[in-house]
Structure 1
Amino acid sequence: MDKETFEKHKPFAGETKPSMLRRRIGHDYQSRRIYLITMTIAGRRPLLGKLVGNCNAPEGTDEAPHIELTELGLRVRKCWMAIENHYPAIKVLATQIMPDHLHGILFVQEHMEVHMSQAIKGFKTGCNKVYRELYPSAATLSPQRNPDNAQGLLWDKGFNDHILDYGVELDRWFQYLRDNPRRLAIRRTYADYFKVRFDMVVAGQSYSAIGNRFLLNHPQRLPIRLSRRLTNEEIEKSVSYYLALARQGAVLVSPAISKGEKAVMRAALNNKFPLIFITSYGFTQFSHPGHQFYDACAEGRLLLLAPWPHQNRKEPLTRTQCLQLNSFAQEICQHG
């Protein structure tokens, strides 16, 4: 949908609902771009493979976490790689098949006559044929919570896409895909720290939370609040000051809004000090920490708190929201 059509229909669309399947408004999905594509198995059934390995094993060793694909998983991978044959303008740059979902990076090398969703639709059609071939009773295997899936369809409806830029962002997503099995192994090994908890009340405020909730009981919790006007030299001094307190046992608490607050929290994370991070983006039942937070979460050094509901669209924080988040940090530190 182009932006003009979107704006024309927007007044009649009703309340915006969070969705991972919404396309970017104003983008034609035919031009030369790189896309991260994610699709999930209907009902989140682990049909494509199983996780094996130890999350603490070094990367590249036999014991490192990886996915052993089922026959269906192998056939799905074959269908995915065949996208290049059906759509020569598309190049498959990376693939990571997990037990219940697939991540892939596609490069549209030149303008296509069709919308990229046509390529995804063709891929799904091929997968459904394979699925019904391997599971003849597939139509009866659909989970009850997916009543629309009555024809033996392998995938959930739609797909999620993220348009990637060249360079650092692309390299970061390559690493994300490679590291996916390890992160899954970490979540399973330290399941309690990665479970999303809803309606956790702290100092009268309700939060959704991921991580070590017992950090809230630490006797020394210290809010980080630094002016946006600090010079780089002043920020360096602030980092040294707060790291010294963290070495003495303080748990640092912040929404990390200003440049200085970000620098302090980043330095504390890199030095493996315990943190309580207040995020403006809420969680769903499938949420998990960002890549940079995984190890800290597994080691019990991190608690993520979200005071507001999940939203896909990341809007800039207002001044009122910034003040609220800093107020929450202060209240968390004063809470008995």
Structure 2
Amino acid sequence: MNQEQLQRRIELAGPKKQSMARRKQDHDYQSRRMYMITMTTEGRQPLLGTVVGDPRQPFGNEEVPRTVPSPLGQAITACWYEIEKRNDDISVVAFQLMPDHFHGILFVKEHIDKHLGTILNGFKTGCRKAFRTLCPVEYAVALRRQTQRRGRHDDDHGILFAPGYNDKILLRAGQLDNWKRYLADNPRRLLVKRQHPEFFRVQRAMAWKGMTFSAIGNLFLLRKPFLVQVQCSRRLTEEQIKEKTDAALKLCQQGAVLVSPSISPGEKAIMRAAFEKGYPEIIIKDNGFAPLTKPSGAGFDACASGQMLFLGPTYHSNEHKAITRSQCLNLNDIAEKLCQ
């Protein structure tokens, strides 16, 4: 498919679907591939279990954060592993149950005769049966909600799980290990978010210095008296970048908070060096944040400690587009205004 055909298809498709209903265009969901699947309970109800433990404890410690499944959560887990028993060409790679959602990794080992979505719908059917048996009151409430619109089926709500599912497709080396680490770290992340909700709540329409942002992280960093913009030309040599990095770190030692969109190699190098030493930073993003957005990787723990603030526009887009020169200039202008 060329670019013109793709654009025509996008126009005919209408408004972009939310992530639980969206599939990758032109991908064969019957082909040999690995997927990370996410499903959330309807209304994000914590029906599947409880997270316990100490987020400070490392893996291997008996107090490491973990999910204690409810009877329904145990049934959901059993249904997930039933997928590989019923489908010889699919194996379960990993599974992580959380109170109101789960993540699972599936490996489609050979071409299958059904769309992956059909298999996942079968999984959902088994889960609904368990829901009806184990939670009859909650099931009855969900069933009434399904028919409350003049007796018609409500496609906007599910019985146990919200409609649809989110899938990520394994595309590059190292991605599977990242997925596994993310799944294993989910319980700890939840406990950390509960300890520091103020740093993980997406702030909407946050006004500052005549500008409006959405934000995640430590808003108090904006009130620090010494904000320093990091802006580097792409033409800088490695030696020049090192000089600028050393100068920036000296300012950090004096209490500076670095502010940058971190786009050019020099900006990334300076911000990374400061981050690794634990100095506070404000990162300007070119996209806003979805309601449940959380920083990934080391940025998550940096937010929890109050080290980071992410600022973005008030809107969020699911489109992944290359950043333009005008956008880069605009982000640097924003960083400059914040530091004035």
TM range (shorter): over 0.9
Q: Deviation digits for residues 152-195 of structure 1, max 9, x if unmatched?
A: 72100001111113531211111111111111111001111111
Aligned residue pairs, count: 334
Name the SS of the counterpart of 2:73 in structure 1. helix
1:260 maps to amino acid: G
Q: Specify the code of the residue in structure 2 equivalent to 1:105.
A: I
TM-score using structure 2 length: 0.91
Aligned residue for 1:247? 253
Distance 2:121 2:140 in 1: 23
Aligned 8 A contact 2:205 2:314 in 1: no
Aligned to 2:102, the other structure's residue is in SS state: strand
Q: Does 1:304 align with 2:310?
A: yes
Judged with a 3 Å threshold, the aligned counterparts in structure 2 of structure 1 residues 134 and 247 are, in CA distance, closer, same or farther, namely same
Question: What is the Cα-based RMSD across aligned positions, in Å?
Answer: 2.4
Residue 203 of structure 2: aligned partner: 197
CA distance change for structure 1 residues 20 and 256 in 2, over 3 Å: closer, same or farther? farther
Deviation at 1:141? 3.0
CA distance in 2, matches of 1:128, 1:86: 18
Structure 2 portions without partners, runs of 5+: 149-153
Residue in 1 that maps onto 2:270: 264
User: Is the CA contact 2:20–2:163 (under 8 Å) kept in the aligned structure 1?
Assistant: no
Flag the 1:122–1:61 CA change in 2: closer, same or farther, 3 A: same
Q: Taking every aligned residue pair, what percent have the same amino acid on both sides?
A: 46
Please tell me whether the aligned partners of residues 18 and 311 of structure 1 are also in contact (alpha carbons under 8 angstroms): no
Q: How does 1:140-155 map to 2 (within 5 A)?
A: 140-142=140-142, 148=154, 153-155=159-161
1:224 is aligned to: 230
Residues 140 and 152 of structure 1 are in contact (CA less than 8 Å); yes or no, is this contact kept in structure 2?
A: no
Q: Could you tell me which residue of structure 1 aligns to residue 288 of structure 2?
A: 282
1:116 and 2:116 correspond: yes
Give the whole-Å Cα distance in 2 for the aligned partners of 1:299 and 1:76.
34
What SS does the corresponding residue of 2:176 show, helix, strand or coil? Answer: helix
Cross-structure match for 1:37: 37
Post-superposition offset of 1:4: 9.8
Q: Which moved more, 1:58-67 or 1:208-217?
A: 58-67
Give the Cα–Cα distance (whole angstroms) in 1 for the partners of residues 118 and 322 of structure 2: 33
Partner of 2:185: 179
Q: Distance in 1 between matches of 2:325 and 2:199?
A: 32
Shift of the 182–120 alpha-carbon distance from structure 1 to 2, 3 Å rule, reads same
Q: Is the 8 A contact 2:204 2:214 kept in 1?
A: yes
Distance 1:39 1:236, change over 3 A: same
Q: Which runs of 5+ in 1 are unaligned?
A: none
Q: State the match for 1:233 in structure 2.
A: 239
1:53 is matched with which residue? 53
| TM-score normalised to structure 1 length | 0.93
Q: What SS is found at the alignment partner of 2:113?
A: coil
Shift of 1:123: 0.7
